[in-house]
Structure 1
Amino acid sequence: MLRSIRTARATLRSLRIYYGDRKRAAAMDRLYGNFVRSGDLVFDVGAHVGDRVASFRRLGARVVAVEPQWAMVRALRLLYGRDGFVTIEAVAVGRQPGRARMLINSDNPTVSSVSSAFVAAAHGAPGWETQRWSEFADVEVTTLDTLIARHGVPAFIKLDVEGFEAEALSGLSEAVRALSFEFTTIQPNVALACIAQCEAMGYLQFNAALGESQTMIGEWVDGKAIARWLSALPQAANSGDIYAIAA
């Protein structure tokens, strides 16, 4: 009961944060407008409460929203369950299909993760001191290739899976037009692995946005340059997203 109350309270807080700022929403639309056109298919992997889903829909895209947490799935169904252009997949994404143990942060479900290494890296790290993963859930895992076989090839994939991004990318056998993946400064090795995976698939141009700024840091660069930029970030930078465009 207590866990349910805490999760509901955290979900409502996320809804206020992610849906209550019109300027942020407009900035998000401008950012994703670089990658998404009306009629495109987009995969939002780690959809949480669906603020990116909202942006992709405003841009006219069809969306597959992928989210394994039951509370977040319930919120997605309430918000988008009647939208014929949104499909909700209540699964995690990884290297291969199966099951996984998801570590749940009931007070801040946006950082729940199937990566125990992510949780270990966060333990005691500056800026993460108050985070606690006190619950767990058994979740289904699929792959990006399986989702593509089921729904079609997306024009853009957004990956935000709290330290499991490299595993998720390992389940993608061919490049799509563009994608993004989250990075954190407590686990730069995960993002560096993602950059290497993207280069191997033929992605040649990279950019990034810090935090929730919704603003690119500068010009598009190659994989080595974005890796140097990432490696030089202070830990206080915390997190952001790296964007990749296929050749």
Structure 2
Amino acid sequence: MKVNKRLKKAIKKILIIFGLWNLIKGLLNKDKGEPLNKNLLEEGTKFYAKFIQTNDLVFDVGANYGNRVEIFQKLQASIVAVEPQKKCVAYLSEKFPNIKIENIGLGSKNEIKTFYEADSSVLSTFSSDYIEKVKNTRHKSSVWSKSVEIEIKTLEMLIEKYGEPKFIKVDVEGFELEVFKGLKHKSGIISFEYNIPELQEEMIACMRQLKSVGYQWFNFSKGETLEMSENWLTLDEFLEKLERKELKMSNFGDIYAK
């Protein structure tokens, strides 16, 4: 045991000398649930308080390890977390015992679908198209080496089971459009992740789909800034804004629809 400890210390010292320790440490810990830092938790709570009041029903679709669940819980919302990855569900169950958890995926219809697990759980997805579009660009170092069969249900079924939500957060790595095809009527404010330029067409398709069920106004928040951009826009106005540098250079963030 003493030899092992000495060896570990020696390896760590060598890695530090060559500037590799932080990189190795990051790789070892990149897929573990970690609590939000205090500043992000506070800023997130202020931001989402614009949409969520005490006891409001919130759907977190693609909850992962619960970064947003932690914020929603601080707002005293009633939370339903949807997460297909068992390791994430186990973590959520232990950390947030008072929330409802659905260990499924959401899509356009009831089915069993292949889910591609990435080395980093936040990149796991039902969309093979997503993998093809990002594996050589923003996620060159990621691999999707495992696939499992997962049950898919729809947003409509979730609403029938739990009631009408006031807020729906969707973060499902390129499968957002399929999720929204499973929604047949307007139901609360919606947010979903965007990635541009690779998934700009998918982002627009999601917005058109939401408009078709009654959503009229759109906005966006760049990256993890948790700051809304300017005023709410109609879909046509938003599409005009796509040509502006502010949105084109934002890379990723969240679209909001109401």
Shared topology, TM-score over 0.5? yes
Q: Distance in 2 between matches of 1:105 and 1:49?
A: 14
Q: Which structure 2 residues correspond to residues 96-175 of structure 1 after superposition, within 5 A?
A: 96-106=109-119, 108-125=120-137, 127-175=138-186
CA distance in structure 1 between the aligned counterparts of 2:164 and 2:30, rounded to whole angstroms:
33
- C-alpha displacement of 1:7: 10
For residues 166 and 86 of structure 2, what CA distance do their matches in structure 1 show? 27
Cα deviation, 1:182-232, whole Å, max 9, x if unaligned, reads: 111111111101110111122111111111111112111111222333465
Equivalent residue, structure 1, for 2:188: 177
What do residues 121-157 of structure 1 show as CA deviations (whole Å, max 9, x unaligned)?
01211x3211211111111111000101111110111
Task: Assess, with a 3 A threshold, how the Cα gap between structure 1 residues 236 and 112 changes in structure 2: closer, same or farther.
Answer: farther
Asked if the contact 1:103–1:114 (Cα under 8 Å) also holds between the matched residues in 2, the reply is yes
| Contact 2:118–2:143, Cα closer than 8 Å, also in 1 | yes
| Alignment counterpart, residue 44 of structure 2, candidates 28, 48, 54 | 28
What SS does the corresponding residue of 2:224 show, helix, strand or coil?
A: coil
Aligned to 2:143, the other structure's residue is in SS state coil
Asked if the contact 1:8/1:71 (under 8 Å) is kept, the reply is no
Whether the 8 Å contact between 1:95 and 1:168 is mirrored in structure 2 is yes
What is the aligned length? 231
- Counterpart among 60, 65, 72 of residue 56 in structure 1: 72
Unaligned runs of 5+ in 2: 1-25
With 158-167 and 21-30 compared, the bigger mean Cα shift is at: 21-30
Identity %: 31
| Deviation, structure 1 residue 236 | 5.7
RCO comparison, higher one (Cα < 8 Å, 6+): 1
Contact 1:67 1:89 (8 Å CA) reproduced: yes
Counterpart of 2:3 in structure 1 is: none
Say if 1:112 and 1:235 are closer, same or farther in 2 by CA, change over 3 A. farther
Cα deviations by residue, 1:95-138 (Å, 9 ceiling, x for unpaired): 001111111112x110110000000101211x321121111111
- Indicate yes or no: 2:107 matched with 1:94: yes
2:212 is aligned to 200
CA RMSD of aligned residues (A): 1.9
Q: Which has the larger radius of gyration?
A: 2
Q: What is the rounded CA distance, in whole Å, between the counterparts of 1:175 and 1:157 in structure 2?
A: 11
Structure 2 counterpart of 1:212, which letter? Answer: E
Aligned twin of 2:62: 46
Native 8 Å contact 2:164 2:188 kept in 1: no
Structure 1: 5+ residue runs without aligned partners?
A: 1-5
CA distance in 2, matches of 1:138, 1:179: 27
Find the counterpart in structure 2 of residue 3 from structure 1.
Answer: none
Give TM-score, length-normalised by structure 1.
Answer: 0.88
Contact persistence 1:143–1:168 (CA under 8 A): yes
Cα distance in 1 for residues equivalent to 2:155 and 2:242: 25
Q: Measure how far apart 1:31 and its partner are.
A: 1.6
Conserved 8 A contact 1:11-1:71: no
**Which stretch shifts more, 22-31 or 36-45?**
22-31
Query: What's the TM-score, normalizing by structure 2?
Result: 0.84
Cα distance in 2 for partners of 1:78, 1:223 equals: 41
Aligned amino acid, residue 53 of structure 2: R
